[in-house]
């Protein structure tokens, strides 16, 4: 495909061309915004490294019953209704790495945004949540311990 063929396509299909341009701009905006948002999505392997090397605080935002069914070893539970940057569990960790976890990664991403806005320096969220952790074959602990 050469430049002339591409220009001919754009001339014959203006609506498809506009849709392509719009989608391209939307993707670029999303990716650039992700780079500057200040909190990072991490995978299960990176979470284990962060906990082992930097003693990260792992906060599980699952409902209590779900937390008891299975959670990451060493994680602490705060339900979404209890979660705030001022919560006693996280308030003292403004300079430490904090990793937020939930069942699927959605609630933890929202909570990470709140922590970053509150001035926390090293905020992460587990991309894919407990489901991704389990799919990676990493251990889950049952009960409250």
Contacts of 23 by beta carbon, 8 Å cutoff, 6+ apart: none
Q: Which two tokens stand for residue 40?
A: 């990072």
Known catalytic membership, residue 54 = no
What does the alpha-carbon distance between residue 90 and residue 140 come to, in Å, rounded to a whole number?
Answer: 22
What does the alpha-carbon distance between residue 106 and residue 122 come to, in Å, rounded to a whole number?
Answer: 19
The backbone torsions φ and ψ at residue 30, rounded to the nearest 5 degrees and listed phi first, read -60, -45
Catalytic residue, from 102, 107, 115, 126: name it. Answer: 102
Please list the active-site residues: 102
């Amino acid at each position: 495909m050469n430049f002339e063929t591409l220009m001919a396509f754009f001339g014959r299909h203006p609506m498809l061309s506009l849709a392509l341009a719009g989608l391209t701009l939307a993707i670029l905006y999303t990716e650039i915004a992700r780079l500057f948002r200040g909190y990072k999505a991490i995978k299960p392997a990176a979470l284990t490294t962060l906990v082992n090397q930097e003693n990260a605080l792992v906060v599980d935002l699952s409902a209590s019953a779900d937390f008891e069914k299975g959670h990451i070893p060493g994680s602490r539970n705060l339900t979404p209704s209890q979660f705030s940057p001022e919560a006693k569990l996280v308030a003292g960790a403004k300079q430490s790495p904090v990793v937020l976890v939930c069942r699927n990664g959605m609630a933890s991403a929202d909570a990470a945004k709140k922590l970053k806005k509150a001035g926390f320096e090293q905020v992460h969220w587990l991309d894919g949540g407990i489901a991704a952790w389990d799919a990676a074959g990493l251990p889950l602990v049952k009960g409250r311990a």
